[in-house]
Structure 1
Amino acid sequence: MAIADPTTRALVAPQGRAAKKRAPKVPLTSRERKSLRLARGLLWPALIVSIVITQVPFLVTIFYSFQNWNLLRPGDRSFIGLGNYARVLTQGEFFSSLWATVLIVGTSTVLSLVIGTLLAMLLDRKFFGRGLARTLLITPFLMMPAASALIWKWSMLDNNAGMVNWLLGLVGISPVAWNTHFPVLTVIITLTWQYTPFMMLILLAGLQSQPGEVLEAASVDGAGPVRTFFSMTLPHLRQYVELAVLLGVILMLQVFDPVAIMTRGTGGTKTMSYLLYERAFVGLNVGEAAAYGVLTVIITIIVATIALRTLFKMFKVEGDLR
């Protein structure tokens, strides 16, 4: 029999949950145990391959980070412990590179998420040519990062032949040397243009999984588009937003091509990945470059954790307000 009184339901529900927790575990049958062993056995090869591909190189990098090894002196190699880490942390380039990475990656992620949400809401509606529009909007993410950087550097933002300066000239604004005067902005524009389709695809999948009956019920009850979005659609997109932010941050932290091609690390655009490249392939200091690599991995984990916890708190507060 259904319990109609809310007070009664509130009193009964905790007892049901407590009883469920106290319920004894049902022993598995021999067939279930056999199926479980088979499933675990099938997972072991994939797990071993993943460990070999991902963790073994990282362990080798940690080993190199404890070595004093410069390829200019290949025979002079020794163990120095945490010396490379001390050198990295005492140099001013590390913290300036860390700030450049946070600024570029953070701004690009937020802009890509906002624009991707707007485009996903547009593609969630039915209109003529939606398939063609979806294909064109996905195209930037399918391009190679080097090709994207070259397009924005020469075709779009060039001082003499760039389309952006040509458009500015139509309204009487003098040409702007974007790569020289606004290097950080040029890298952010390129990353935002390239990763907005990535955010859009994830959020579009979330929008298309939202039940239409719920939106129709909200419309019947008098909820406007803005109220419906913030009270129903946005909480529904929580997991998709978390996934998009997490993957977007991880991917952008690894970006190297726009910085190397457009600015070469000048003007406050020397990110962690570009600084690692300088130490490994310009300075030929393998030990110091390995230390930078280990610190980059640690920073990536910290940034991803902070981003996820911030999103958890935002959605939790919003859910409490509702």
Structure 2
Amino acid sequence: MSTPQVTGRLHAPPGRLRPAPAAAPRRPRGAWARRAPLLPALIFMVVVTQLPFVGTLVISFMRWNALDPGDKGFTGFDNYREEFTDPQLRSALSTTVVLTVTVVLVSLALGLGLALLMDRKFLGRGVVRTLLITPFLVVPVASALLWKHALYNASYGLINGVLTWVWRLFGSHSAPQPDWLSQVPKLAVEASLIWQWTPFMMLILLAGLQSRPSDVVEAARVDGATNWQIFRYLTFPHLRRYLELAALLGTVYVVQNFDAVFTITSGGLGTANLPYAVYTTFYQAHDYGQASAEGVIVVVLSIIVATFALRTVSSLFREETL
């Protein structure tokens, strides 16, 4: 008997169909077509932002002073070591910390109070809200000039004029006329920055208040909760992420502030912060290596704070999608 030939083709029993082999996943052809228009913007961003920073980072490790062009070379971490040993630079660093913490905390507290007021319904709320955000829209240099001349000036400033008017109401013609810029220079800079950044804090916190579930608040009111209890147990926990975001973003910007210090006090009387120290080191001392090291420190501090800010924003987005 002849044995049947085994062919390479197997036939499935009737009624049973074998699944076809799965095809390898293929990348959509339109993926690169959608991303290609973004490449010029990406290249532009790298050229404009990253390459100058890399150049600054390289110069920060060099000994380079324009007043002595012959003495140029690699110096390692000497520029950074001098940052933390020079008394003036340490003072600029401490001033930056004090200025940033004071401005952020005070403007955050004021912004929270204004946001709670703007969350209530009253006649003319839109007009009041627009007026409150106006300081944030003013150019920083113009804002500093306004405070320096229109408010702080000892001869014709608004603050001393109000003091004179109040003293005359009580029958006195010897009102105090302090020179605010020389007597309280750091407070003068902080006040102008608080005036400028309070609307920014208010807008972020007001957005957080308007995202609060209203049914929970109404249920608490029905149960007899007071306004303080609603704020403590409902509003404040809900605003915690927004408070963190406002504080972090405000810190990023205030750390880099230069306009107010330069315009109001010119860095004198203990108001010089790190950005102003970079300016004086570069344009007055002409020490490019030292100025680059100071600039790198400012950028690193800003990146650290911005990293926490981005994490807070991501957590807010995750909470909104849940």
TM-score, with normalisation over the residues of structure 1?
Answer: 0.80
2:146 equivalent among 151, 160, 163: 151
Q: Distance in 2 between matches of 1:143 and 1:38?
A: 42
Q: 2:171: which partner in 1?
A: none
1:85 lines up with 2:87 in the alignment: no
- Check conservation: 1:155, 1:162, Cα contact below 8 A: yes
Aligned to 1:130: 125
Deviation at residue 198 of structure 1 after TM alignment: 0.7
Residues 83 and 90 in structure 2, CA contact (< 8 A), matched pair in contact too: no
- C-alpha offsets along residues 195-242 of structure 1, whole Å, 9 cap, x if unaligned? 001111111111111121111111111111111112111111122212
1:87-127 Cα offsets, whole Å, 9 max, x none, are 22221112111111111111000111011111111111111
Task: Show the counterpart of 1:174.
Answer: 176
User: Which residue in 2 is equivalent to 1:286?
Assistant: 288
Structure showing greater Rg: 2
Q: Which among 135, 139, 153 is matched to residue 134 of structure 2?
A: 139
Partner residue, 2:108: 113
Contact 1:242 1:308 in 2 (8 A): no
Residue aligning to 2:227: 225
Deviations 1:34-58 (A, max 9, x none): 3995599469635554443332221
The residue type equivalent to 1:99 in the other structure is S
Relative distance call for 1:135 and 1:40 in structure 2 (3 A) is same
Instruction: Quote the Cα distance in structure 2 between the aligned partners of 1:37 and 1:212.
Output: 42
Q: 1:101 to 1:66 in 2, by over 3 A?
A: same
Partner in structure 2 of residue 34 of structure 1: 28
Counterpart of 1:199 in structure 2 is 201
Aligned partner of 1:71 in structure 2 is: 66
Residues 249 and 190 of structure 1: CA distance in aligned 2, closer, same or farther (over 3 Å): same
What corresponds to 1:8 in structure 2? Answer: none
Question: Residue 93 of structure 2: which of 95, 98, 101 is its match?
Answer: 98
Task: Give the total of aligned pairs.
Answer: 283
Note if 1:52 corresponds to 2:54: no
Q: Give the match's secondary structure for 2:28.
A: helix
Q: Which residue of 2 is the match for residue 165 of structure 1? A: 160
2:237 is the alignment partner of 1:235 = yes
Amino acid of the residue matched to residue 119 of structure 1? L
* Deviation at residue 30 of structure 1 after TM alignment: 4.5
Please tell me whether residue 186 in structure 1 is matched to residue 188 in structure 2: yes
Aligned residue in 1 for 2:57 = 62
Query: How far off its partner does 1:260 sit?
Result: 0.8
Paired-residue identity, %: 46
Other-structure match for 1:253: 255
Distance in 1 between the 2:70 and 2:145 partners? 40
- TM-score normalized with structure 2 length: 0.80
Taking structure 1 as reference, are residues 165 and 308 closer, same or farther at Cα in structure 2, changes over 3 Å only? farther
| Separation of aligned partners in 1, 2:133 and 2:274 | 28
How large is the RMSD of aligned CA atoms in angstroms?
2.7
Name the structure 2 match of 1:320.
Answer: none
Write the letter of the residue equivalent to 1:179: L
Question: Which stretch of the first structure deviates more once superposed, 200-209 or 178-187?
Answer: 200-209
Structure holding more helix per residue: 1
Aligned-partner Cα distance in 1 for 2:81–2:37 = 41
Q: Distance in 1 between matches of 2:252 and 2:30?
A: 34
